[in-house]
Amino acid sequence: MSLNIASIRGLFPVLHQEVHGRPLIYFDNAATTQKPQSVLDSLTNYYEHDNSNIHRGAHALADRATRYYENTRETVQKFIQAKESAEIIFTKGTTESINLVAQTFGRKFIGKGDEILISTLEHHSNIVPWQMLCEEKEAILKVIPITDSGEVIWEEFEKLLSPKTKMVSIVHASNALGTINPVKKIIDAAHEVGAKVLLDGAQSTSHLEVNVQDLDCDFLAFSAHKLYGPTGLGILYGKREVLEEMPPFLGGGEMIKEVTFEKTTYNDIPFKFEAGTPNIADVIAFKTSLDFIQSLKKSRIKAHEDELLAYANELMLPIKGFIPVGTAEEKVSVLSFNIQGMHPFDVGQMLDARGIAVRTGHHCTQPLMKRLGLEGTVRASFAVYNTKSEIESLAEGVERIARLKNK
Ligand code: PMP
């Protein structure tokens, strides 16, 4: 059965507004998704009824808040099919999750002359933390090249992989182009040389079924706000045996077993990596986002988004002056493009005037843009609440803008 998009739209209050006198068309979902009313209610409900610090209170509210917080951990565990909930760590976002791995696993296990592999497609948050580590440790960052259509070149990856490779940190689905990387194959090949693999799942987890046990990745990083959940909350999944070997990230309350002035012993996972009072309200509300996704089923969400992407391509490819960017075979619902002779920012402004929200620029992937010889792109990214009629409005807007320059 296909999804009832009209009723899904009814769950998102923010969608029902006008921008510059036109109905809002929100196509900036790869940056952040909108939140259903149930998530907003969950946040308010927590502050109205349960607000309390967790894991240490001897009273009913603290008990409840702790239970709800840990419930979300279990829901995330099931969402990505992890073996146990202790393998789920709450962070501030994908960025913090990757930094955590670079600063703990990296500092302990990566040394002088060791190699870290990333791809040309990476978001800055999967580049800079590794550069910082390489600088400190005299390790070497190597980059897997891509084709002009935005796919990693397998033979080049194989050439770069060696026993010196200690970490392969790669994006599962590109935020700038939508390319889905063949991560299962990458993980298997990396494990053969003894490297660990971190998947940047910021864009994949909202569109694809991600089963960390099947994939056998060592780490998965993602952000709640791209999954119809609150901002300021991220997840790091790690295999128990790897997490246990890693030193803590931040020091403070909660992450300890016992503190004396002479020596501190650390808590078990996941608490070893969750120092201080966490983002309790957002963690609790995130369960509601995951319930929302599960109630729709990811396969149906993906099917709807694929249909939107195919329709967008069908309408826009024939437009004179429309230049698609990133034409990989396997993609999530990201349409990156330029209009001949126009700066992406100007295109974005003109679409905004029509009530259409897109992103323009380098999408935090400056090296990728450089590889493609572009200053930036216009990016329309689709979510479950988007409709074919919104795609038609986008195509109409793009056509008009392109006609100005490409008569
Ligand atoms: N990686 C990718 C592929 C992303 O799309 C993003 C967000 N744009 C990030 C990492 C960083 O996520 P956050 O800003 O939520 O930490």
CATH number of the domain where residue 387 is located: 3.90.1150.10
CA distances from 271 to 93, 245, 276, 394 (A): 17, 14, 10, 46
Q: Do 108 and 22 share a structural domain? A: no
Does residue 1 register a pLDDT over 90?
A: no
Sign of CA dihedral 178, 179, 185, 188: negative
For the cut 80, the answer to whether the pLDDT of residue 139 exceeds it is yes
Indicate if 285 and 318 belong to the same structural domain.
Answer: no
Give residue 93 CA to ligand 1 midpoint distance, Å: 8
pLDDT digits (tens, 9 = 90+) for 183-218: 999 999 999 999 999 999 999 999 999 999 999 999
| Residue 123 beta carbon below 6 angstroms from any ligand 1 atom | yes
Q: What is the pLDDT of residue 58?
A: 86
Question: Does the CB atom of residue 125 touch ligand 1 within 6 A?
Answer: yes
Calpha distance 123→222 (Å, rounded): 12
ipTM above 0.85, yes or no: yes
Examine residue 199 and state whether it is found in any structural domain, yes or no.
Answer: yes
pLDDT exceeding 70 applies to what percent of the chain?
A: 100
- Across the range 334-341, mean pLDDT stands at 97
In a domain? residue 35:
no
The answer, as to whether pTM is greater than 0.90, is yes
Query: What separation, in Å, do the N-terminal and C-terminal C-alpha atoms of the chain show?
Result: 44
pLDDT at residue 56, rounded to an integer: 78
Task: For ligand 1, say whether the CB of 381 is within 6 Å of any of its atoms.
Answer: no
E strand spans, 250-397: 256-259, 264-266, 322-325, 334-339, 356-357, 359-361, 377-381
Q: What is the pLDDT of residue 77?
A: 98
pLDDT at 97: 98
The CB density around residue 258, as the number of other CB atoms within 10 Å, is 9
Cβ–ligand 1 distance for 181 under 6 Å, the answer no
Decide which of 245, 275, 294 is a domain's last residue: 294
The answer to whether 229 touches 84, Cβ cutoff 8 Å, is: no
**CA 95, CA 381: separation in Å to the nearest integer?**
20
Show the tokens assigned to 160.
């770069």
The alpha-helical segments, DSSP class H, found in 161-279 are: 183-192, 212-215, 240-245
- The residue whose two tokens read 């897997």 is 144
Whether 358 is in a domain gets the answer yes
pLDDT in tens, 22-58: 999 999 999 999 999 999 999 999 999 999 999 877 8
Q: Residues 157-185: what's their mean pLDDT?
A: 98
Q: How far apart are CA 277 and CA 53, in angstroms?
A: 7
**Same domain flag for 275 and 345:** no
Same domain, 373 and 397: yes
CB distance 93 to ligand 1 below 6 Å: yes
Residue nearest to atom 4 of ligand 1 (CA): 202
**Residue 159 has which token pair?**
């050439």
- Is the bond preceding 270 in cis, omega lying within 30 degrees of 0? yes
Q: How far apart are CA 223 and CA 233, in angstroms?
A: 6
- Are 13 and 47 part of one and the same domain? no
Range of the structural domain that residue 377 is part of: 5-30+297-405
* 162 and 280 together in one domain: yes
CA of 197 to the centre of ligand 1 (A): 17
Residue 2 pLDDT exceeds 90 = no
Report if residue 150 sits inside a domain: yes
* 329 plus 376 within the same structural domain: yes
Band (pLDDT 50/70/90 cuts) for residue 21 is: very high
In the listed set 294, 324, 343, which residue is the last one of a domain according to the structure?
294
DSSP string, 10-48: TT-GGGS-EETTEE-EE-BTTT-----HHHHHHHHHIII
Query: Ligand 1 center to residue 68 CA distance, Å?
Result: 26
**pLDDT average, residue stretch 220-228:** 98
Is 204 a pocket residue for ligand 1 (Cβ < 6 Å)? Answer: no
* Of the residues 262, 294, 326, the one at which a domain ends: 294
Quick one: pLDDT at residue 376? 98
Answer yes or no: is 260 within a domain: yes
Higher pLDDT, residue 57 or 384: 384
At residue 57, the pLDDT reads 76
The model's pLDDT over 192-201, given as tens digits with 9 standing for 90+, comes to 999 999 999 9
Distance separating alpha carbons of residues 394 and 284, to the nearest angstrom: 36
- What token pair was written down for 374? 């572009």
Q: What is the pLDDT of residue 155?
A: 98
Encode burial over 349-362: b for 16+ CB neighbours within 10 A, e otherwise: ebbbebbbbbbbbb
- The span from the CA of 189 to the CA of 183, in Å, is 10
Looking from the CA of residue 93, the nearest atom of ligand 1 is: 16
Domain count, the chain: 2
> Ligand 1 atom closest to Cα of 363?
8
Quote the ligand 1 centre to 189 CA distance (angstroms): 25
User: Is residue 129 included in any domain, yes or no?
Assistant: yes
Decide if 109 is inside a domain. yes
Separation CA 298–CA 336 (nearest Å): 23
**Would you call 199 exposed, middle or buried from its count of C-beta atoms within 10 A (0-12, 13-18, 19+)?**
buried
Residue 125 lies in a domain: yes
- In this structure, are 119 and 234 located in the same domain? yes
pLDDT mean across residues, the chain? 97
Task: Give the pLDDT score at 393.
Answer: 98
Nearest-angstrom CA–CA distance, 24 and 306: 22
Residue 262 shares a structural domain with residue 351: no
Q: Looking at the structure, do residues 70 and 148 belong to the same domain, yes or no?
A: yes
pLDDT of residue 296: 97
- Could you tell me the CATH number of the domain that includes residue 176? 3.40.640.10
Ligand 1 atom, smallest distance to 225 CA: 15
219 and 348 both lie in a single domain? no
Beta bridge pairs of residue 357: 26
What positions carry a catalytic annotation?
364
Tell me, yes or no, whether 255 and 145 share the same domain. yes
d(CA 142, CA 137): 15
Residue 405 has pLDDT above 90, yes or no: no
pLDDT in tens, 78-132: 999 999 999 999 999 999 999 999 999 999 999 999 999 999 999 999 999 999 9
